[in-house]
Amino acid sequence: MSTLKDVAEKSGVTVTTVSRMLNGRGYISEKTREKINAAMRELNYKPNELARALSKKRSNFIGLIVPSASNMYFCKVIDCVERLVTGSGYKLLLCTSNDETKKELEYFNMLSASKVAGVILASHTQNIDLSVAIDAPIISIDRIISPRIPSVCSDNYQGGILAAEHLIAKGCRKLAHISGSSYLNMEANKRFFGFKEVCEKEGVPYVAIDATEEQFLSMQYENIIHSLIDSNPDIDGIFTSNDIIAAQVIKICSRRGIRIPQQMKVVGYDDIDLCKFCTPSITTIHQPVRDICQRAVESIVLEQDKKGIPIRVTYPVTLVEREST
Amino acid sequence: MSTLKDVAEKSGVTVTTVSRMLNGRGYISEKTREKINAAMRELNYKPNELARALSKKRSNFIGLIVPSASNMYFCKVIDCVERLVTGSGYKLLLCTSNDETKKELEYFNMLSASKVAGVILASHTQNIDLSVAIDAPIISIDRIISPRIPSVCSDNYQGGILAAEHLIAKGCRKLAHISGSSYLNMEANKRFFGFKEVCEKEGVPYVAIDATEEQFLSMQYENIIHSLIDSNPDIDGIFTSNDIIAAQVIKICSRRGIRIPQQMKVVGYDDIDLCKFCTPSITTIHQPVRDICQRAVESIVLEQDKKGIPIRVTYPVTLVEREST
C-alpha cells in the first residue's frame, strides 16, 4: 500500500503540501493540486481520514441540524452551509429533526460520537442545555437557545417594521399577520412585534393569527387563510411570516376572485426562490442567508483555533418589492 | 471515563444491546432506548464512533452527491435520503457538486478517505469510471453512469408519453417541449423521446428547445420561453422537463396576456411543492422520489451484507392533473 511520502515524491512536492491539500487547509495552486491528484490516482493512494481524526480526537465533520430539508428556506441554508463547510476543508453531516426534541438529542449523541468539529443548529430545541450533550462548539441560526450558546440571526423585528410600513405606504387600511411557527421560534415572533408596533403607531387596525405546528411542518395553511378572510372581509393587506403562506394567500385570493395587488396586498418573509416563480411574484423580506451561514461556519472554524467568538450576531434584512404589492 | 460495560450495567441490559442501539442495528424497544440514554447521560458516556469505524475499516457514513441543495427537486431527494439513511442507522454526508466533474472527483476522494459505507450519486459525472475511485458501493439516481454501477430511475420515457397524450386529449394542436438539461442527463432525455413519439403518432406538430447548462444551474429560463412564444405564436401546449420551467411559462404567459389553461396548457415534470403553490397550480409528471431514494439507500445497506443488488431499477411515473391544463 502506498503512503503519503510516495505521493509527495511522485508529484514532486513536500509531504506537508500533500497533507495540506488532503486536509483542505491553506492555498494550493490548481497546478499542484492536479499533480497531487494524478500521483494519488496512479499510486491508488487512499488516505484514511478516520485514523487522522482519531489521533487528533476530532474529525473534520460539521453537523447541521434543520427541521426538514424539503422546506425551501432550509434548502437555502443547507446549500449555503454545505458550500462554506466544504470550502473550509470540512464535511457536512446533515440531520433533519422534524423539530422533535427527541430526534435532536439523538442527533447530538450521534454527532458527539463522530467527534464533530462543531454543530450548527437551525432546529428548535428549547429548554435543553445542549452544551452538556456535546464536547464541541455549537452555534444556532435564527433562534436563541441558551445564554451560553452563540447565535446568528437576522433582524426579525426590523423585518416586521419594514413589512407593515410598506403595506401602509401602499394604502392598506386593515392588516393581518399570519405566523407560521410562533411556538417554535421565539426569534421569529419578533417579526410580529415589529409589525404590531407600526400598526399601533400609525393607527391601522390589524388581526393576527397563528398556524399550528402541524400546519408548519406540512406547509398547508389554506384553512386558516380562508377563515381569516371569511371573518375579516375588509382586510386589504397581509404580512405572512414565511413565503409559503404568502403563496397560499395568493392562490386563495385568486380562487375567491380577490385581485392582487389591487384589492389585497401580500408581503412574505425569507425571499425563497418561490417568490420569483409565483404569479404574481411575491414582495418579501429578504433574509441574508449567505451572511448568516457564513458567520455560523466561520464561528465553528474559528473556535478550532480558540479565537474569540461573539455570543450574538444580527444581520440586517431588506424589503424586496415585487408584484404582490 | 466510563465504558460501554458501565452503561450496560447501569441500564440493566447486555453490552450487545447497548452496542446495537449505538450502531442503530436491529430493533430496540422505546423503553430500553430510554433506559440506555438515561444511563449514558448519567455516566456522561461518549461513544467514539471513529475508533469503531477504524477497527471495522468502514464508517457508517453514506455520501450523497447532488448538483445543488437549493434546487427544489434535489431538496426532496436530500430530505428523503437523510430520513432513510438515519432510519437505517447510518449518517448522511451531503455533497453539492454544481454538476462539475472536478468537484465530484474531489468529493469521491473525500468520501473514500472517510471510509464511507456507500455513495448515492444524483449528479452527472459522465465518462468517468468512478468505481475505481472508491472502495465502496455506488448507486446513481436517475442517470446511468457506467455498465458496472447500479442505478435507480423513474420511467422517463413513459413520463413524456403521459404528458403528450394529456395535452393532446385536452385539445392542444401544436406543442412545444422545453428541456432543462439534456446534455447533462441522458436519462431525462427520454422524456422528450416519449413526447416526440406520441406527437408523431398523433400527427400533432411540435417544436423542441434546449436550455443551456447555465440556465439549468441558475433556473432562469425566461429568455428562451419568450423567444419560443415569439417564434411560434400558434403553440397551445407546452411540456417542460422540470416544474421550475413550467412556473416560468405561467409567469410569462400571464405577462403576455395569454390565459392558462384556456389559451395555453402547461405540463411540468417532477411534482415539486411549487406545483401546488403556483397560481394556477401546475399539472405535472410525478416522480416517485420516496421509492427511488428508498431503493438507493437499501441498495447500499444491503451491499454491506453482500446481498445481490439489481443493476437497473425503474419505477413508474404518474400524471397529476391540476389547473394549468
Q: Which CATH number belongs to the domain containing residue A10 in this structure?
A: 1.10.260.40
Contact between chains at A279 and B274 (C-beta distance less than 8 A): no
Cβ contact B240:B228 at 8 Å: no
Q: How far is CA B162 from CA A114, B173, B176, B260, B274, in A?
A: 47, 16, 15, 20, 20
Task: Tell me what pLDDT residue B321 has.
Answer: 97
Q: Would residue B325 count as lying in a domain?
A: no
- Inform me whether the C-beta atom of residue B252 falls under 8 Å from chain A C-beta atoms: no
Q: Does A83 touch chain B (CB under 8 A)?
A: yes
Q: Domain for residue B24, yes or no? A: yes
Residues A148 and A100 sit within 8 Å (Cβ to Cβ):
no
A276 Cβ neighbours under 8 A, 6+ residues apart = A322
B246 and B186 in a common domain: yes
Pair A225, A109 in one domain: no
Decide if A323 is inside a domain: no
- Residues A276, A297 within the same domain: no
In angstroms, the CA B85 to CA B151 distance is: 17
Structural domain includes residue A324: no
Which of B53, B83, B93 comes nearest A50 by C-beta? B53
The cell for B133 is: 475511485
Determine, for residues B92 and A91 on separate chains, whether the beta-carbon distance falls below 8 Å.
Answer: no
Q: Are residues A190 and A162 in the same domain?
A: yes
Which chain B residues contact residue A47 at CB under 8 A? 109, 112-113
Phi-psi region of A38 (alpha: psi -120 to 50; beta: other; left: phi over 0): alpha
Does B260 lie in the same domain as B165?
Answer: yes
A194 inside domain: yes
Judged by a CB distance cut-off of 8 A, whether residue B1 touches chain A is: no
For residue B124 the three cell numbers come to: 452527472
Task: Clarify whether residues A160 and A282 are in a common domain.
Answer: yes
> How many distinct structural domains can be found in chain B?
3
Q: Which residues of A touch B79 (CB under 8 A)?
A: 68-70, 96
Interchain pair A250, B279: CB under 8 A = yes
Residue B324 resides in a domain: no
Chain A contacts of B22, Cβ < 8 Å? Answer: 113
* One-character DSSP codes across A177-198: EEES-TTT-HHHHHHHHHHHHH
| A94 phi, psi to nearest 5 deg | -95, 135
Q: Do B226 and B161 share a domain, yes or no?
A: yes
CA distance B118 to chain A (A): 15
Residues B147, B93 share a domain: yes
Helical pair B15-22 and B30-43, crossing angle rounded to 10 deg: 90
Residue pLDDT tens, chain B, 325 long: 677 888 899 999 998 888 888 766 678 888 998 898 888 888 877 777 777 776 667 788 999 999 888 888 999 999 999 999 998 889 899 999 887 877 888 888 788 888 899 999 988 766 566 656 677 889 999 888 878 888 999 999 999 999 999 999 999 999 999 987 655 567 778 999 999 999 999 999 999 998 776 776 667 788 899 999 999 999 999 999 999 999 999 999 999 999 999 999 999 999 999 999 888 999 999 999 999 999 999 999 887 776 677 889 999 999 999 999 9
Tell me: do B162 and B276 sit in the same domain: yes
Cis peptide upstream of residue B205 (ω within 30 degrees of 0):
no
Task: Indicate whether B216 and B300 sit together in one domain.
Answer: no
Continuous segment of H or E residues that includes residue A285? strand A283-286
Helix (H) or strand (E) holding A319: strand A318-320
Please answer yes or no on whether A96 and B82 come within 8 Å at the CB atom.
yes
| Burial tier of B119 (Cβ tally within 10 Å: 0-12, 13-18, 19+) | buried
- Whether residue B79 and residue A70 make contact (CB cut-off 8 A), yes or no, is yes
Provide the domain limits for residue A293. Answer: 58-154+289-316
CATH of the domain at B160: 3.40.50.2300
Does B47 lie at the interface with A, CB-CB under 8 angstroms? yes
Q: Check the CA dihedral B72-B74-B76-B82 and report its sign.
A: negative
Find the closest chain B residue to A250 by CA distance.
B279
Are B149 and B217 found together in one domain?
Answer: no
Residue of A83, A114, A277 lying closest to B278 (CB–CB)? A277
Using CA atoms, how far residue B211 sits from B110, B162, B195, in Å, is 32, 22, 17
Asked if A224 and A203 sit in the same domain, the reply is yes
Q: Is residue B160 part of a domain?
A: yes
pLDDT at A127: 59
In-domain check, residue A223 = yes
The whole-number pLDDT of residue A133 equals 64
Minimal Cβ distance to B94: which of A92, A115, A278: A92
Classify the phi-psi angles of B318: left when phi > 0, otherwise alpha if psi is within -120 to 50, otherwise beta: beta
Query: Which of A61, A135, A244 has its CB closest to that of B277?
Result: A244
